[in-house]
Amino acid sequence: MYIKGEWWREAAVLFSFAVMIAGITRLLFIAPIIVEGDSMNPTLMDQDRVIMNKSSYWLSEPERFDVIVFHASKERDYIKRIIGLPGDTLYYRDDTLYVNNKAVPEPFLEPLKNEYDPELITQDFTLEQTTGSVVIPQGYVFVLGDNRRHSLDSRIIGLVRKDDIVGEAAFTYWPLLQPRHSEGERE
């Protein structure tokens, strides 16, 4: 039974507790982000709202084709797709990704390939031409935007340190709830 005027204290404590839990969750586990630009089209569009899972790599390593958010500079974070992992060699020839001298399909690029056919989506390059490394060193990944013609990615900014990865893009919540991966997209 509440004493007259005491109910607000309990409400204030519950509200404070809820705000604290939300703050801790946002700080440690998830964060909303807004995609800026067209570098991840058609997977992510400009102004899409995405939930980023900050805890994705606490107990596991990044995987090929994960879409990650990373610190590109002190002022700016980028969202790109991991293409190369530590120990990999990679190159593109005739619009085909080769990792460790094996062709690797990229099903997430099919909509662009249909749009640009017969033009190339990804111009030919080697890891050494773009980064100066023959093999991706430990502690680094190679990233590309899905819209290869309009992406500021590892071909220009170089390899991304794993320590600079903030988290993995889990799903788009606006404009619609959309899963980030469909079955078979991962290697």
* DSSP strands (E only) in the chain: 30-34, 49-53, 67-71, 77-84, 90-93, 96-99, 102-104, 125-126, 140-144, 160-161, 165-174, 178-179
Instruction: Annotate 23-37 with b (16+ C-beta within 10 A) or e (fewer).
Output: eeeeeeeebebebeb
Backbone angles phi, psi at 110, to 5 degrees: -55, -45
Structure tokens at 21: 């839990």
| Average pLDDT estimate for 109-131 | 90
Structure tokens at 10: 């309990």
**Start-to-end CA span in the chain (Å):** 60
Residue spans of the domains in the chain: they are 32-179
14: left (phi over 0), alpha (psi -120 to 50) or beta: alpha
- Calpha distance 84→82 (Å, rounded): 6
| Average pLDDT estimate for 113-120 | 82
Q: Which position has the higher pLDDT, 37 or 186? A: 37
Structure tokens at 67: 């879409």
- Calpha distance 174→35 (Å, rounded): 11
- Calpha distance 80→143 (Å, rounded): 6
Enter the CATH code of domain 32-179: 2.10.109.10
Helix, coil or strand: residue 169 = strand
pTM recorded for the entire structure: 0.84
pLDDT in tens, 146-167: 999 999 999 999 999 999 999 9
pLDDT in tens, 13-46: 888 888 888 887 777 789 999 999 999 999 999 9
- Calpha distance 61→26 (Å, rounded): 22
- Looking at the annotation, which residues are catalytic? 39, 80
